[in-house]
Amino acid sequence: MDHPTELQTQPAAVRVRGIVKSFGTGDTKVTVLRGIDLDIYLGEMLLLVGESGGGKTTLLSAIAGILDIDEGNIDVLGVPLSDLPAGKRTTFRGQTMGFIYQQFNLLPALTAAENVAVPLLIQKIGRSEALRRARAMLDRVGLGDRTEFLPKNLSGGQQQRVAIARALVNEPRLLICDEPTAALDGPNGQKIMELLREVGRAPDRCVVIVTHDSRIFHFGDRMANLTDGRIVGIESITREGTA
């Protein structure tokens, strides 16, 4: 079960209480989340693990505010996300969150630097300033010499690095990662997780990662296990292994 850490002495950055989410209606109705309670703290990297269909991605989507929940509350950085109207939720998401996806979701027509600049452009930051910051961020993830490459000319690992740079360029307080290593081989997956810990994890940021990949479990600070729509266990992790 969960072991208290020094981080948990402060208020939770993400506070999930009793959320329920179903899909479909009538006989085809499937309840995916069945009353989830979860706290995520600034400075920590939380892994959401569990069997397929257990509700990990649905929970991640709900925390990100891109999926409406049926019941319960989600507070992110003190803002009741589930009560915000869609437009304000979108703005809030753009200002406070960064996303890393399993399939990278880079825009194929844009160079690496332009892809990284997209969240800044959405925030109406000027193109030249956005590109300057994007190049600096690519430098931080080790792609300073690939800024003008199109995604198709980058390897899978490099594309995920671009995605990490894009997620971090607007300095989000909450970093949402969906299976960030699933499309990569073992060594590249390890490198991506090392990078995420190195540049993604920060004292004023929490990182939530959905993963199946047991080879990267040791990178997290805590690990929440979702099974059949419920959290069945939360463990703290030491760098050497599970505590």
Partner 1 sequence: MNYVALKMLFGDRAKYLMLLSGLTFAVMLIVQQGSIFWGLMTWTQSSISNSNAPIWVTDPGIAQVDEVKPIADTAVDRVRSVPGVEWAVPLYKGLLRARLSNGDYHQITLTGLESSTLIGRPAEVLEGRFEDVLQPDAVVLDQWAVERMGGPNVIKIGTVFELNDKLARVVAIAKTQKSFTNIPVVYTTYERAISYVPRERRTLSYVLAKAKDGVPVAEVTTRIHEQTGLGAFTAEAFGWKTFMWVLKNTGIGINFGTTIVLGFIVGMAISGQTFYLFTVENLRQFGALKAMGASTFTLARMILLQAFTVGLTGYGVGIGLASAFGFFAAGSGGLPFVETWQLLFIVLVALLAICTFSALISIVKLARLEPAIVFRGA
- Nearest-approach distance from CB 193 to partner 1, in angstroms: 18
Q: Is 29 helix (H, G, I), strand (E, B) or coil?
A: coil
Q: Burial code of 201-215, b = ≥16 C-beta within 10 A, e = fewer?
A: beeebbbbbbbebee
List the structure tokens of 226: 């979702």
Residue of 10, 103, 153, 238 that binds partner 1 (CB under 8 A): 103
3 or 23: CB nearest partner 1: 23
Binder of partner 1 out of 105, 188, 190, 227 (CB under 8 A):
105
Selected from 127, 153, 194, 204, the binder of partner 1 by CB under 8 A is 127
Per-position x/- string for 133-172, each x denoting binding to partner 1 as judged by CB under 8 A, each - no binding: ----------------------------------------
Tokens 């607007």, located at residue: 170
User: Per CB under 8 A, does 125 bind partner 1?
Assistant: no
Q: Which of residues 158 and 170 has its CB atom nearest to partner 1 in the complex?
A: 170
- Determine if 174 is a binding residue for partner 1 (CB under 8 A): no
Specify whether the CB–CB gap between 46 and 176 falls below 8 A.
Answer: no
Kindly report the backbone phi and psi dihedral angles of residue 110, in degrees, each rounded to the nearest multiple of 5, phi listed first: -100, 145
Q: How far is CA 150 from CA 106, 132, 182, 189, in A?
A: 9, 17, 22, 21
Other Cβ atoms closer than 10 A to 117 = 28
Nearer to partner 1, 136 or 150 (CB): 150
Q: How far is the CB of 4 from partner 1 (least distance, A)?
A: 30
DSSP 129-162: HHHHHHHHHHHHTT-TT-TT--GGGS-HHHHHHH
84 near partner 1, judged by CB under 8 A:
no
Q: Does 67 bind partner 1 (CB under 8 A)?
A: yes
**Which residues are at the interface with partner 1 (CB under 8 A)?**
57, 60-61, 64, 66-67, 87, 90-91, 93-95, 97, 99, 101-103, 105, 107-110, 114, 118-119, 121-123, 127, 178-179, 182
